[in-house]
Amino acid sequence: MKKVVFIDRDGVINVDPIGDYVKTWDDFRFEKGALEALKRILDSGLEIILISNQAGIGDGVYPEASLWDIHKKMLAEFKKKGILIRSSHFCLHGKQAGCGCRKPEIGLFKEAVKDLAYDPQKTYFVGDKATDVEAGKRFGIKTIFVRTGHGRLDEKKLTGKLKPDHIANNLSDAVEFLLP
């Protein structure tokens, strides 16, 4: 069994420009403490899987090449800190495309766990939107909601079936909860 944690990108690892998109590397800012938090996760023996919606591509707001440029540079910053992640999975479809991978759909998670044995009861998805909580639940894993990014706006939506297993102020706090 592998120990993994699924993590959303915008609003968790980097600052989400609410109402806009991270369109170039110049728009990209790490959330405070995020790199240190990712490193702690790895050092604890968990592997990191990135799960991110990037509808701005499908909706024509920025080109796909821009996403890969940002991704390459983000991974280079990770590497400087000794952070190597297991895999990254993006939905590039527009918001209205009706695809099976845009969260709260679970296509990206399914893609990520091909050839991966893991225990859903001990696996978390960390995200900043109510739809992240919904996706994690649909996929049958546990969820941690963070108050960064859309978190402050979405926290009020977390009622009934959308109650996460934990609410954290940010990724660093989520790591405190996650690690034994």
Footprint of Mg ion on this chain (CB under 5 A)?
A: 8, 10-11, 128
Q: Which one of residues 55, 75, 99, 162 is an interface residue with Zn ion (CB under 5 A)? A: 99
Work out how close the CB of 14 gets to Zn ion at its nearest, in angstroms, rounded to a whole number: 20
User: Is residue 55 a contact point for Zn ion (CB under 5 A)?
Assistant: no
Span near Zn ion by CB under 5 A; candidates 1-9, 81-89, 100-108, 154-162:
100-108
Q: Which helix (H) or strand (E) holds 143?
A: strand 142-146
Asked if 56 contacts 93 with a C-beta cutoff of 8 angstroms, the reply is no
**Residue numbers annotated as active site:** 8, 10
Q: Does 102 participate in binding Zn ion (rule CB under 5 A)? A: yes
How far out from the chain centre does Cα 141 lie?
14
Shortest reach from residue 16's CB to Mg ion, in Å = 6
85 binds, among Zn ion, Mg ion, none (CB under 5 to 8 A by kind): none
| Residue 101 binds Zn ion, judged by CB under 5 A | yes
Report what 134 binds from Zn ion, Mg ion, none; CB cut-off 5-8 Å by kind: none
By CB under 5 A, tell whether 41 contacts Zn ion: no
Residues in CB range of 12: below 8 A, 6 or more apart: 31, 34, 126, 127, 128, 146, 148, 149, 171
Q: Is 91 in the site for Zn ion (CB under 5 A)?
A: yes
> Within 1-129, where are the H helices?
34-43, 55-58, 64-80, 107-112
For residue 76, the number of C-alpha atoms closer than 13 Å in the C-beta half-sphere is 7
CB under 8 Å to 79, separation ≥6 — which residues? none
